[in-house]
Structure 1
Amino acid sequence: MKRTMITIVASAFVFCLAAQEKPIAKVHYNFMHVNDTTQRDKHLRDEVVTYLGQNSSYYTSYSSERLNQDLKRQTDKAGFDGNIVLSKSTTSIDRNYIFYPSQEKAIELASFGGDSFLIDSKFEVPIWEIHDESKDIGGYNCQKATTDFKGRKYTAWFTTDLPFSSGPWKLQGLPGLILTATDSREEVKFEYAGFDKIGGETQIVIEAPSTAIKSTSTEVKKLEEAFKSNPQAYLQSKQGRSGTTGKVMFGGAVVVKGGPGSTSKATNISNLNIKSVNIKSDDSYKPSKVTNNPIELTQ
């Protein structure tokens, strides 16, 4: 079997913000992560998306956008009675990434407790081995590639029909767009869920949010542990501080997750005669709150 080796040397960089650009397309994935190996059936899931630009890409959760769409669908209905019911069946990923391949730069964004943090990150590209095997995914002819990356063995399927050297999460660097990727233990999966072109009139931009707080991975880890151990105390400690992002508030206004790739601005619903908002969790989705199996098994 003919195999091609692709090796790209990763490099660290001094943090800086590159010029913003509008994405020209986006690819959707259904993400699954077995975060707790003692309860493999209670895994995390999310709908994630990678926004694709000419010189950059942005990987993030799409859950907030789906919430926006559901909210608008209900309020736009004829005979809307003021009562909103939203369903929750995913857990938004808390790490987003912006990549600038030509500059070998990357930005990590951590989000929790209504805050977003910018973290200096190392631009890394897996060392891929391309195989002859091919198959159809979503109407695209895809080729197989494998890699050992961050402690896991991944099999990915990419298509040169979509000439973007990107994919989900940190999986990138192939001569085409990655449509699916799965680790050998089937503990991390990214399944193709759609590809859309984005018109030039879009208001979406790929850039770090201006309200994000520049920090370090060590400091963010401490803050995140404090938030998880006592969310109420964490939120009280930052009361009165401006510039919070990623909040969802009801009773006057809905502020939907902002930042790179966000299609939604703060949506004021104070004039929509909202009587109640009920957020229901899907009874079939009860992920474990324990994480003993992170995506990155090695640094």
Structure 2
Amino acid sequence: MKTGKITALLLVLITISASLYAQEKELVVTYKYDKVHLRYEDLKSKEPIKDNESTKFFKVYTYENFCLRQVGIRVAGRIDFKSGFTVMDTTYKHNLVDYTKGQMWHIASIQNAEFARYVKEPLNLFKWKFEAVTKDILGYKCAKATCTFRGRDYVAFFTRELPFKAAPWKFHALPGVVLEVYSTDNIVKWEAQSLKVRHRQPHPEIPSASDEVITLKEYLKLLKHSKLNEEDGHNKTILKFPDFSEQLKLTHKNSNLPNSIEIFDLDKP
């Protein structure tokens, strides 16, 4: 009986210690991101070839119940359609996750369209299936999970050996730190390159202004509008250069290959 009480007390102390440790510290994960871009080498060929984009690296900062991914791009010359003026924005943006509220905010990216800075979505988007497979990554034992999400099948490896939660992109519903995730069609892959625990640093607050946040439904409407504008401009180009109409049609068709991570059917209501 005494042994059981001592064991229970030790477990409580370990839990409290881990909680305090996570609150005082933050984990910085550096990920390597590879994306394969599909394109046509010959306009007359219908067989796509794979052309690797340059590898990108980004960092995820996680502490307490929050996780932030720093996006290493700056926005310049963003057009404000209401005023007609060009707004210069030179601040770094972040994707944010609030584990307590079960919400995440990701930066929208639509060219030549009026859109808010963040798309708000629920955290638990992925229906993960856990498998009895393990893998060692950066010295940590990782468990395997699989899922299907918006047009792609994914495999992820995550570890429970750290008192944090962290993940690249939107893979935040797994109970631990995701150290590797990739699509089974080999289009996208994220790999953790390094882990660093440090004292918590100040980070930006979660966006709350109505002009900064939109829903996924609103985002898809803007995406569809942008696509229609692109098709209209393409059709006008064909009318202007009728001798090259077939080549232009084929080029435009090729440019609409599913190169985005998420594949949406914009024709659905």
Structure 1 residues 241-274: Cα deviation after superposition (integer angstroms, max 9, x where no partner): xxxxxxxxxxxxxxxxxxxxxxxxxxxxxxxxxx
> In the alignment, which residue of structure 1 is the partner of 2:261?
295
Query: Does 2:183 match 1:183?
Result: yes
How far apart are residue 27 of structure 1 and its match? 1.1
Which letter does structure 1 place at the counterpart of 2:206? E
Q: Is the 8 A contact 2:124 2:173 kept in 1?
A: no
**How far apart, CA to CA, are the structure 1 residues paired with 2:228 and 2:212?**
17
Query: Does 2:50 match 1:40?
Result: yes
Q: Is the 8 A contact 1:30 1:47 kept in 2?
A: yes
* Cα pair distance change 1:222/1:198, threshold 3 Å: farther
Per the alignment, in what secondary structure is the counterpart of residue 41 of structure 1?
strand
**What is the TM-score when the length of structure 2 is the normalising length?**
0.57
Larger radius of gyration: 2
How far apart are residue 196 of structure 1 and its match? 1.5
What is the RMSD computed on CA atoms of the aligned residues?
3.7
How far apart are residue 207 of structure 1 and its match? 3.1
- What percentage of aligned pairs have identical amino acids? 22
Which letter does structure 1 place at the counterpart of 2:128? W
Gaps of 5+ in 2: 1-22, 40-47, 75-91, 232-253
Q: Is the 8 A contact 1:25 1:196 kept in 2?
A: yes
* Cα pair distance change 1:22/1:119, threshold 3 Å: farther
Q: Which stretch shifts more, 151-160 or 95-104?
A: 95-104
Q: Is the 8 A contact 1:34 1:44 kept in 2?
A: no
Which letter does structure 2 place at the counterpart of 1:104? G
Structure 1 residues 18-39: Cα deviation after superposition (integer angstroms, max 9, x where no partner): xxx9981221111112232534
Q: Is the 8 A contact 1:163 1:175 kept in 2?
A: no
How far apart are residue 163 of structure 1 and its match? 3.3
Write out aligned runs for 1:1-299 (5 A): 24-37=26-39, 38-43=48-53, 45-62=55-72, 97-110=95-108, 117-200=117-200, 202-208=201-207, 213-215=212-214, 216-218=218-220, 221=223, 290=255, 292-293=257-258, 294-298=260-264
Structure 1 residues 169-218: Cα deviation after superposition (integer angstroms, max 9, x where no partner): 11122221110001111111001111122313x233453398x7445415
* Cα pair distance change 1:198/1:222, threshold 3 Å: farther
Q: Is the 8 A contact 1:117 1:220 kept in 2?
A: no
* Cα pair distance change 1:47/1:209, threshold 3 Å: farther
**How far apart, CA to CA, are the structure 1 residues paired with 2:256 and 2:55?**
13
Per the alignment, in what secondary structure is the counterpart of residue 108 of structure 2?
strand
How far apart are residue 136 of structure 1 and its match? 1.3
Q: Is the 8 A contact 2:95 2:107 kept in 1?
A: yes
Structure with greater contact order relative to length (CA < 8 Å, sep ≥ 6):
1
Which letter does structure 1 place at the counterpart of 2:27? A
Per the alignment, in what secondary structure is the counterpart of residue 131 of structure 2?
strand
**How far apart, CA to CA, are the structure 1 residues paired with 2:204 and 2:108?**
18
**How far apart, CA to CA, are the structure 1 residues paired with 2:198 and 2:73?**
19
How far apart are residue 137 of structure 1 and its match? 0.7
**How far apart, CA to CA, are the structure 2 residues paired with 1:51 and 1:226?**
37
Which letter does structure 2 place at the counterpart of 1:297? I
**How far apart, CA to CA, are the structure 2 residues paired with 1:48 and 1:155?**
20
Q: Is the 8 A contact 1:155 1:183 kept in 2?
A: yes
Per the alignment, in what secondary structure is the counterpart of residue 55 of structure 2?
strand
**How far apart, CA to CA, are the structure 2 residues paired with 1:290 and 1:24?**
41
The structure whose residues are more often helix, as a share, is 2
Per the alignment, in what secondary structure is the counterpart of residue 221 of structure 1?
helix
> In the alignment, which residue of structure 1 is the partner of 2:5?
none
Q: Is the 8 A contact 1:127 1:148 kept in 2?
A: yes
